[in-house]
Structure 1
Amino acid sequence: METIIEPVSHVDPREATSKNPYLLPFILVTSLFFLWGMAHNLDSILIPHLKKACNLSNMQSALVDTAVFFAYFIMALPAGILLKRLGYKQCMVLGLLIFATGAYLFVPAADWLSYPLFLFALFVIGCGLTILETTANPYAAMLGTPSNATGRLNLAASFNGLAAMVAPIIGANFILSGKEYTTEALAAMSNVDRTGYFMEEASSVKIPYIILGSTLLLFAIVFCFVRFPEMKVPTAQTAKGGFFSVLRHRHLFLAVVSQFFYVGAQVCVTSFFIRMAQQGAGVDEKTAGYYLGVYGFLFMLGRFVGTLLMRFIKAGHLLMTYAIIAMGLCTIAVLGQGIYVVYALGLIGFFMSIMFPTIFALGIVGLGEDTKTASSWLIMAIVGGAVLPYVMGGLIDYYQDNTQLGYIVPLCCFGVIFHYGWSGYKLKGDRLLKQ
């Protein structure tokens, strides 16, 4: 029988300003989905931009994703421990402060034209994001009736989709210069001119990341002065388990696997989107950045449409349907030609939109006190975003900068997600998984 999670509020009813004491906390937590969405979707701009500024290969440029998402793997367990000891509110404030620190580190990285320092700054950002996501995803799911948890999480995640539209537009206007030189042209420059070009490209990231860091500090201050209800699970209904024993829940274990491949697929699609648009459609990098913004709009639209559809269609069925459509669109991206390749990638954004929150919500169903530990596993699975884009970058380099062939990687990932939506999410008893 499914364990029902019942939120318990520590907010004094006399201090409630509305009939719904969860409304303001839900709005503020939803803002976090937008903020970390900005960070992730600016990475899609940073990859081609730093490839130019630091003169990198495709595989080296993919280390932008590796730095961010490896932090999820390293910090997921500590984030879960912090969540148990500090609670939701304190962890959200801590995550915002670490996130802001990473954003400010972009200034010395640009001044010194240091790719390793850029990667360290991104790793710090990833640590902050890990704490925020480990905290905010289950908290948003529990801020209300358990029956609406999946829809509520998708609604909050819709603002992550809004960031997927806004970030590429900001990046295209304030980070991408539109200047790009061939290897031969760079070799023909004097050392002074070449260094000046690299420094100019690197410096364009400073203002956007200073603004981002300052915004994060402002939100951290606001969170300090707002009362948040702390959610608890009745201990009588649940049994405690260790960090690894939580994987006895089959649907959680498969959710962790699916989340690994989903995040890998999403990051692969967006990280090489601009390069794909340049190669496949012959557009310049700024125009490609705007196309990435259209992808973000479709991603956002998909979140809202998916939230609506889940009122009528079971979450697992919708996940399965979206996954098989994404597989078809990936096939077009690999085999197609011209602008239709870019259209296919844009539409993938629509059908990927519900996958992360849906897998997350289905994975924590009926887990009781194991929910916080399960959240750490599902966030740790985000390491797929560190591994698979690096594999994709290596594949592209191996085939002489053929970006289209690289999209075989997300195609395979969507196959794993299809299986989870077909049967993997179903509860089939709590037994330890055997090797």
Structure 2
Amino acid sequence: MAGPIDLRGSAKMAESTTESAQTSAGGTRYGPALALLASLFFMWGFITVINNTLLPHLRSVFDLNYTQTTLIESVWFIAYFVASIPSAMLIRRIGYKPSLVVGLCVMAAGSLGMVPAAQIPSYGVTLVALFVIACGITLLQVAANPYVAVVGPPESAESRLTLVQAFNSMGTFFAPYFGGYLILSRTTGGTSLEGTQLTAAEKLADAQATQLPYMLVAGVLLVIALIIWRSNLPALGAATKRAGVEARKGMSLWAHKNLVYAVPAIFIYLIAEIGVANLFINFVIQPDIAGITPAQAANYLVLLWGGMMVGRFAGSYLMRRFDARRVLACFALFALLVMIGAATLHGPVAMWCLILVGLGHSIMFPTIFALGIKGLGPLTEEASGLLIMAIAGGALVVVQGWLADGYGLQTSFWLTVACEVYIIWYALVGARPTGPQYD
């Protein structure tokens, strides 16, 4: 089991590792703000990955097929599509700091909604509660990602955002321990081999096991909301504010191909990441792969997310010395190769290929995001909204669920292989900046 979430510790680590981005040209110190935001990245990564242990749990409680199981995650990512534009409007109306507080409170409300969902238990109420949590995370994403990307020198934006995203991966690293111990290891379904039939009483007891974890998460979210409310976050510079109507006449988002191609890149990447993470436990418990229980598989899921954390710290370092597009291409090529292994091999080797893809996926989101808004200046806010909306690509994980039901779970990973091909193309060709550069 992981220990208590040490927000002060992660904030101190974030502050110590963002020294190079602590001041702007005008002398404003941004280190404390980045450290505080790193705690947000940690928490939304943590709560998102709890879903990876929740999905196999719900599959046994509600007797779901793979399509119904992945539909849960699709609902989660549909929230990004629905809530992105309203989130951007809210930020313009009330500002960044109040919006972060609202986002955290919305996440806490959704987490508390999981309590009655487990008590009933109800598949429908579970979907609604997870949708609410995802809406809160969307608001945090719309606010925090562009903030981190533009508060420092433009030439280090990719490295800076990748570094802070590493704390997101730190949250994803600890979440499987948390979910594995408090959900899977405390349930009959979580400690039984694939194919075990549960009684009605066992299903009810298993469903109610999710109450305590989500109550703890809600409490932590409300504490962070209070800390954010009492903090001093510097405003973004005037150069990144939404352009006025007259100024917009000479500007066009569509002239920036690095953005135009980044939107589908984010969309496609999310299909790959979410498909691998959500089906990981279901894959490795197969008799011809590892043949272990879901609770045991959760411990290996930790290694997948740990690879993403290590990869982001390493990627941040590499991008200070090498071109970000080349680093992205190398990571994507590695992901392509290990996914081919996961789709074709058997036994523990296939499991380890799926674990290693976390290393390849690690830098993709923050690097694509930073490359997508590079050079957009006053168009950054609109561009960020489009990129966050593209996270809705994770909703298409239901397509992989459909492939798994129709052609086999392992065969469905060829969809992930196809996603990696586009990311390689974006890194080598699509990410080249075009149009007027405003930075």
Same fold per superposition (TM over 0.5): yes
- 2:269: which partner in 1? 262
The answer on whether the counterparts of 2:107 and 2:132 sit within 8 Å (CA) in structure 1 is yes
The answer on whether the counterparts of 1:237 and 1:368 sit within 8 Å (CA) in structure 2 is no
Distance in 2 separating the partners of 1:96 and 1:248: 35
- Encode CA deviations 1:134-176: one digit per residue, 9 max, x unaligned: 1000111223223222111111100111112101111111111
Distance in 2 separating the partners of 1:71 and 1:211: 23
Distance in 1 separating the partners of 2:60 and 2:241: 58
Identity %, equivalent residues: 36
Whether 1:120 aligns to 2:98 is: no
Aligned match for 1:99, one of 99, 102, 107: 107
Aligned match for 2:254, one of 230, 237, 247: 247
SS at 1:267 equivalent: helix
Aligned match for 2:308, one of 290, 299, 307: 299
Distance in 2 separating the partners of 1:84 and 1:111: 39
What TM-score, normalized to structure 2? Answer: 0.88
Note the C-alpha offset of 1:234.
3.1
The answer on whether the counterparts of 2:194 and 2:285 sit within 8 Å (CA) in structure 1 is no
Which residues in structure 2 correspond to 1:123-142 (within 5 Å)? 123-142=131-150
Distance in 1 separating the partners of 2:196 and 2:313: 47
**Structure 1 231/287 Cα, relative in aligned 2: closer, same or farther at 3 Å?**
same
SS at 1:106 equivalent: helix
- Encode CA deviations 1:325-373: one digit per residue, 9 max, x unaligned: 1111110001001001111111100110000000000001111111111
Note the C-alpha offset of 1:20.
6.1
- 1:354: which partner in 2? 363
Q: For residue 344 of structure 1, what is the amino acid of its counterpart?
A: C
Note the C-alpha offset of 1:246.
2.5
The answer on whether the counterparts of 2:113 and 2:129 sit within 8 Å (CA) in structure 1 is yes
Decide which moves more: 361-370 or 171-180.
171-180
Distance in 2 separating the partners of 1:417 and 1:355: 8
- How many residues are aligned here? 407
Whether 1:158 aligns to 2:163 is: no
Structure 1: runs of 5 or more not aligned: 1-5, 14-18, 187-193
Whether 1:212 aligns to 2:212 is: no
**Structure 1 173/398 Cα, relative in aligned 2: closer, same or farther at 3 Å?**
same
The answer on whether the counterparts of 2:193 and 2:293 sit within 8 Å (CA) in structure 1 is no
Whether 1:417 aligns to 2:426 is: no
- 1:60: which partner in 2? 68
Note the C-alpha offset of 1:203.
1.1
Decide which moves more: 275-284 or 171-180.
171-180
The answer on whether the counterparts of 2:80 and 2:392 sit within 8 Å (CA) in structure 1 is yes
What TM-score, normalized to structure 1? Answer: 0.89
Note the C-alpha offset of 1:301.
0.6
Q: For residue 272 of structure 2, what is the amino acid of its counterpart?
A: A
Aligned match for 1:221, one of 215, 223, 226: 226
Note the C-alpha offset of 1:238.
6.4
- 1:145: which partner in 2? 153
SS at 1:32 equivalent: helix
Distance in 1 separating the partners of 2:200 and 2:268: 39
Decide which moves more: 100-109 or 141-150.
141-150
- 2:332: which partner in 1? 323
- Encode CA deviations 1:401-428: one digit per residue, 9 max, x unaligned: x211111111111111111101111112
